Structure 1
Amino acid sequence: MNMLRKTFCAAVLGAVTLAPVVSTTVFAAPVAASEQQATQNLVRQLTNLHSLSANFEQTTKSNGKKTVQKKGLTAQHLNQTFRGVMKVARPGKFFWETTAPSKQTIVTTGKTVWIYDPDLQQAVRQSLSDQVANTPALLLSGNTSQIMQSYRVSQPDHSKTYYTLTPKAKDSAFQNLSISFSANGTPTFMILNDSLGQTTTVRFSNAAKNVSIPASIFNFTPPKGTDIIDQ
C-alpha cells in the first residue's frame, strides 16, 4: 500500500508540475484627461491646423425616433452616403462641395453661409450657426476661443487624440460632436449626434495639412438666374 501510495503521489505531483501556467494579463483602463487638459489639447490641435484639404464621406442616420425637418436637412439626406471635397483656411474660411450622388456647394468666409444647389438653380443664404449641425466640419474653420467658450471638451483617453464637444447652451442644434485626429494632426472622422435623434458620420481621406489654398475658393457669387433664399 505504501508503494502504491508513493506511486500515486508521484503521479499527482508530476501532473501538477507539468500543468501549463495560465498567464493573466491585466489591461489598465484608459485614463481620461481633465476638462481643462482636454480643452488645451484640442486647442493645440486646432491651432496647428492653419489649412486643410481633404476628401470626405458623410452619412446621416436616424435612431428611429420621429424627426422634424430642419433648415438645410431633408429626408433625402438620411441613410445616404455623400462624397466630395472639403477645404478649410482658419479662421473662418470653409468650402464643402458634394459631388455624389448629387452636387451641392457650401461655402463661407465668415458669418454668412451660402448653400448652392446647381440642379435647382437655388442658393440659400443663412447664418453660420444654423448650418453647423448639418456640416459639423465647419467647426474646423472656427475661431478657437469662440469654440472653447461654447463647448465643454472631454478626452476619454489622454493618450489618444479623440475629443468630444458638448454644447454649453441647452437649446443647441446638436447634443455632442466627437472628432479624432491622426498622428500628423489631420482629422480622420467626426461623429455628430443632433437634437433630432440623428447621427451624422463624416470620414476624411487624402487629407493634406497646412497647404496653400487660393482665396478665391471661398468667395461665392450666385450665378446669373439663381434663385436666392434668405433664412
Structure 2
Amino acid sequence: MLRSIYGIGVLLALGINSASAAETNLVERYLADLNTLVADFEQYTFNADRSQMLEARGTFYLQRPGRFRWEYASPTAQVIIADGKRVYVHDLDLQQISHQEQNEALRGTPALLLANREPIATHFVVKAIASTDGRDWVELTPKDTDTDIVRIELGFGADTLDSLIMQDSFGQETRLNFTNARRNTTLKAELFKIEQRAVDDFFQMD
C-alpha cells in the first residue's frame, strides 16, 4: 500500500558529482530557503505497457525537515502523512491506517528530496536532460539500489518545480503536475498528525 504513494506518490534532499554542478545548483536553489510548501497536484500513473492509466488529484503540504501530507480528493479519499518518524497511509473509505518507519519508506523516492535537508549527493546522482518544452529538466538516479524507484525527472519553470516524473523497477510511470504553489506559508501542526482513534484498523508494516 505504501508503494502506491511513491508510485505517487508525494514528493522530495539530493547531491551529485562535480560534472553536474549546474544541475545540482538548480535543485539546491529551489530547496535553499524552502521551509514549507503547499501545492495542488494532478497525478497520472501508467502501467508498464501504457495500456492503463490512473488519474488522481489533491493537495500536497510540506514542512521541512521531515513532514509532509498528501491529501487525495479523487478518485478515492486517501491521506498520506509523514511526521518525521513514520509514514502513515490513511484510507478514509476503508477506515484503515497502515504505517512504516519513515527512513525505510522514503528510500530512493522523490519525497526524500523535499522533506530532507541533506546534501543532494548523499542520495542521488544528478544530470541535466535536454528540454523540449522550454523548462529546465533534471534527472535523478537513486544511489540506493535496494529501492523500487529507478529514475526521477524534475521539471522547473521559472525556478518553480511544476512537474515530476518517476519510473519504478516494474515499468510503472507516475507523473505529477503541481499548480498554485505557495512557499513558506504558516501551516498548522495538526496537518502532520494522525488520529489513530478515527479508524477501525491500524497496523504496522515493519
* Interval of TM-score (by shorter of Structure 1 and Structure 2): 0.7 to 0.9
Give the match for residue 140 of structure 2.
165
Matched letter for residue 176 of structure 1: R
Q: Larger deviation: 103-112 or 44-53?
A: 44-53
Equivalence for 2:161: 187
Asked whether the equivalents of residues 132 and 139 of structure 1 are also in contact (C-alpha less than 8 Å), the reply is no
Task: Say whether the 8 Å CA contact 2:95–2:198 is kept in structure 1.
Answer: no
- 1:57 maps to 2:42: yes
Aligned-pair distance for 1:39?
2.0
Report the CA distance between 1:130 and its aligned residue: 5.2
Deviations 1:98-119 (A, max 9, x none): 0111100001121310100111
Letter in 2 for 1:168: K
Worse overlay, 37-46 or 93-102? 37-46
Match of 2:26 among 23, 41, 47: 41
Aligned to 2:128: 155
Higher helix share: 1
Give me the TM-score of the superposition, normalised by structure 2: 0.79
Q: CA RMSD in A?
A: 2.6
Structure 2 alignment gaps of length 5 or more: 1-17
Distance verdict in 2 for CA 1:189–1:82, change over 3 Å: same
Q: What is residue 118 of structure 1 aligned with on the other side? A: 92
Bigger radius of gyration? 1
Q: Which position in structure 1 is the counterpart of 2:173?
A: 199
Corresponding residue number in structure 1 for 2:204: 230
Shift of 1:150: 1.1
Question: What is the alpha-carbon distance in structure 2 between the residues aligned to residue 60 and residue 138 of structure 1?
Answer: 20
Higher strand share goes to which structure?
2
Paired position in structure 2 for 1:89: 63
SS of residue in 2 equivalent to 1:144: coil
Residues in 1 aligned to 2:118 and 2:126: alpha-carbon distance in whole angstroms: 12
- Amino acid corresponding to residue 56 of structure 2 in structure 1: F
Count of residues paired in the alignment: 185
User: Secondary structure of the residue that 2:59 maps to in structure 1?
Assistant: strand
Q: Deviations over 1:41-95 (max 9, x none)?
A: 3222212322111111111111229xxxxxxxxxxxx611110000111111101
Residue by residue over 1:120-141, the C-alpha shift from the partner in whole angstroms, topping out at 9 and shown as x without a partner, is 1100011335544897445322
Query: Contact 1:43–1:144 (CA<8 Å) still a contact in 2?
Result: no
How far apart are residue 214 of structure 1 and its match? 1.4
CA contact (8 A) 1:38 1:163 kept: yes
